[in-house]
A and B are shown apart, each in its own frame.
Chain A
Amino acid sequence: DVKVTQSSRYLVKRTGEKVFLECVQDMDHENMFWYRQDPGLGLRLIYFSYDVKMKEKGDIPEGYSVSREKKERFSLILESASTNQTSMYLCASSFSPYTTAFFGQGTRLTVV
Chain B
Amino acid sequence: GENVGLHLPTLSVQEGDNSIINCAYSNSASDYFIWYKQESGKGPQFIIDIRSNMDKRQGQRVTVLLNKTVKHLSLQIAATQPGDSAVYFCAERGGSQGNLIFGKGTKLSVKP
Q: Decide: A90 and B6 in contact? CB cutoff 8 A.
A: no
CB closest chain-B residue, reference A102: B46
Q: Which one of B41, B45, B102 contacts A43 once the chains associate, using CB atoms below 8 Å?
A: B102
Binary CB contact string for chain B from 28 to 44 against chain A (1 if under 8 A, 0 otherwise): 00001010100001111
Indicate whether A104 sits within 8 Å of B43 (C-beta atoms), given known contacts A39-B7, A42-B89, A42-B102: yes
B1 at the interface (CB under 8 A from A): yes
Q: Decide: B97 and A97 in contact? CB cutoff 8 A.
A: yes
A108 at the interface (CB under 8 A from B): yes
Beyond A33-B99, A40-B6, A90-B44, 19 additional pairs, beta carbon < 8 A: A4-B43, A39-B3, A39-B6, A40-B7, A40-B8, A42-B89, A42-B103, A43-B89, A45-B99, A58-B99, A97-B97, A97-B99, A98-B93, A100-B49, A101-B34, A103-B43, A103-B44, A105-B42, A106-B43
**Complex A-B: 20 CB contacts under 8 Å:** A4-B43, A33-B99, A40-B104, A42-B105, A43-B89, A45-B99, A56-B97, A88-B1, A97-B97, A98-B32, A98-B98, A100-B34, A100-B46, A100-B49, A103-B43, A105-B42, A106-B1, A106-B42, A106-B43, A108-B1
